[in-house]
Amino acid sequence: MVIAKLIDNVWATRKADNMNGLKLMLAEITGGRKNGEQIVVCDVIGAGIGDRVIVASGTAARQALGDNSIPIDSAVIGIIDDSCKPV
């Protein structure tokens, strides 16, 4: 997984089947050599812009949604506690 900061919402009216109602957000990886790499993530745990989150990729992302048929490859799996020092 990687640590990323949620920086924006992503809106796509035309999209693949099974994606209606999914919340997509733009995240930027923070810390280490990948700092600044941007990814689009799916959120189902109530994260918001500005949150530092843990992002999982691949099959893990679909496990987080509980439905392997949804065509996404990246999802928020945790919101890092504020007390956790920034990386």
Can you give the binding site for its own copies, defined by CB under 8 A? Answer: 1-3, 8-19, 24, 26, 28, 31-41, 44-47, 54, 56-64, 66, 68-81, 83-85, 87
Q: Nearest distance from residue 6's CB to its own copies, in Å?
A: 13
The rounded distance, in Å, linking the Cα atoms of 5 and 18 is: 26
Q: How many CB atoms sit inside 10 A of residue 54's CB? A: 15
CA 30, 60, 19: angle at the middle one, nearest 5? 95
Q: Nearest distance from residue 20's CB to its own copies, in Å?
A: 11
Q: Nearest distance from residue 49's CB to its own copies, in Å?
A: 13
